[in-house]
Structure 1
Amino acid sequence: MNTLALFDLDHTLLPIDSDYEWGQFLVRHGVVDAVDYQRRNDAFFAQYQAGTLNPVEYLEFALGTLAGFAPATLQRLQADYMAEVIRPAIKPAATALLQQHHDAGDLVAIITATNAFITAPIAQALGIEHLIAAQPELDAQGHPTGRLAGTPTQGEGKVTHMHAWLDGLGRPFDGFERSYFYSDSHNDIPLLSVVSHPVATNPSAKLAQHATALGWPLLHLFND
């Protein structure tokens, strides 16, 4: 296992943004104030696309919503969200790419700015053991407090969290012969610039321009 294969999640392995769609799901099911939540969710999403998002501000907005639900309600909503939104969005092209790396014996992980409450079931559904994601702070009963534990897994933060995760495994980054990172977003240029094999996957216009200038391969997994 001398190859590391890292994957962003939203618009990379999934053709949707799981964080944004979670908010839309809550609005559709009438469990949050539709007008206020929709307005704030749309504003944060626009900031993310523009590269101006304050990750802590957004994460604590999202995690604060989780804190407002009883544990049993959260579990039900999470299961319904997976069935209604996520599983239909898992495409054969993405699972085939993951399988190629698994079959090669690579160390595979998702590294995403989206919080672990949303992404842990998605990683499991995709057959990926390792997940690096924003961690919600939990109270003594294991319920989200509405705050972020640690630092965001976004931008340069992905590089920091990757190194910490690998060091925790006893597999420092420098020990890998090859390292891949698949991402759609210009926000991920810091980590794309660190690995030996960056792959601009379903890239945004800004990332596609950057990747083309540097000779990075462009990969299109989805038609939409």
Structure 2
Amino acid sequence: MELVLFDLDNTLLAGDSDFEWAQYLISRGVLDKEVYEARNQEFFDQYKAGTLDIFAFLDFQLKPLARHSREQLDAWHREFLETRIRPMMTPQSCALVKKHLDAGAIVAIVTATNSFVTFPIARAFGIPHLIATIPAQEDGAFTGKPRGMPAFKTGKIERVESWLESLGLCWGSFTRSWFYSDSHNDLPLLGKVSEPVAVDPDDTLRAHATAQGWPVISLRD
């Protein structure tokens, strides 16, 4: 049995769903452009630099979910998926996912982006499992806060291991395990699997992958 894990943003997607969700809400007039656009870019730059405070970011990212009904959020997300996300789903990404699914592997997306944004994206790829940061809810409405450990840096390992345990599995259950990622923020989980793969990597990850002899691939057109 084989395990295949994919990072989502800038790995399977040729772009960042987190960043684009905020930009989409700005374009709809849901978020104030002057206030949110600069802050969104600031957090994105911190992520790329490896200095992101995940809890400060989640406070920014999740608050808009708490201000609107689930019905309205779902309607916005359907448009967001069609107009912003599907154009970032490259043929190479879809083919790689299909290859692993057809081989009978257990396949999951592991992403720091919250599950409201990412669950429909995982479904669009045909990936059955999603390990994502979870937005807390009360009485069916989002609270604007995260629940549990964010799936970020070492938190990805913790969340993956909890998920495997829920399936009655562990790392030792698999003959081979893959993790595909673009970001140096994912070095902890990349170091945990037997087959780490750098995908269109940032400079830090590219240098590390080259030094370790890891494959470096591109899923872009």
TM-score by length of 1: 0.97
Match of 1:220 among 214, 218, 221: 218
Aligned counterpart, 1:63? 62
Aligned ranges 1:176-191 → 2 under 5 Å:
176-191=174-189
Q: What is the SS of the residue equivalent to 2:11?
A: coil
Q: Is residue 113 from structure 1 mapped to residue 112 from structure 2 by the alignment?
A: yes
Aligned counterpart, 1:144? 142
> 1:70 and 1:84 mapped to 2: Cα distance?
21
Aligned counterpart, 1:95? 94
- Superposed displacement of residue 88, structure 1: 1.7
Cα RMSD, aligned residues only: 0.8
- Superposed displacement of residue 171, structure 1: 1.4
Aligned ranges 1:1-224 → 2 under 5 Å:
2-140=1-139, 142-223=140-221
- Superposed displacement of residue 96, structure 1: 0.4
> 1:207 and 1:148 mapped to 2: Cα distance?
28
- Superposed displacement of residue 221, structure 1: 1.0
- Superposed displacement of residue 145, structure 1: 0.4
> 2:10 and 2:37 mapped to 1: Cα distance?
20
> 1:169 and 1:92 mapped to 2: Cα distance?
31
Corresponding letter in the other structure for 1:175: S
- Superposed displacement of residue 56, structure 1: 1.3
> 1:70 and 1:199 mapped to 2: Cα distance?
39
> 1:64 and 1:144 mapped to 2: Cα distance?
8
- Superposed displacement of residue 70, structure 1: 2.0
- Superposed displacement of residue 166, structure 1: 0.3
- Superposed displacement of residue 121, structure 1: 0.3
Post-superposition, which runs of at least 4 consecutive aligned residues in structure 1 deviate over 2 A? none
Q: What is the SS of the residue equivalent to 1:48?
A: helix
- Superposed displacement of residue 167, structure 1: 0.5
Q: What is the SS of the residue equivalent to 2:8?
A: coil
> 1:62 and 1:143 mapped to 2: Cα distance?
15
> 2:42 and 2:62 mapped to 1: Cα distance?
16
Could you tell which deviates more after superposition, 70-79 or 10-19?
A: 70-79
- Superposed displacement of residue 76, structure 1: 1.1
Corresponding letter in the other structure for 1:179: S
**Which blocks of at least 5 consecutive residues in structure 2 are unaligned?**
none
TM-score by length of 2: 0.98
Q: What is the SS of the residue equivalent to 1:79?
A: helix
**Which blocks of at least 5 consecutive residues in structure 1 are unaligned?**
none
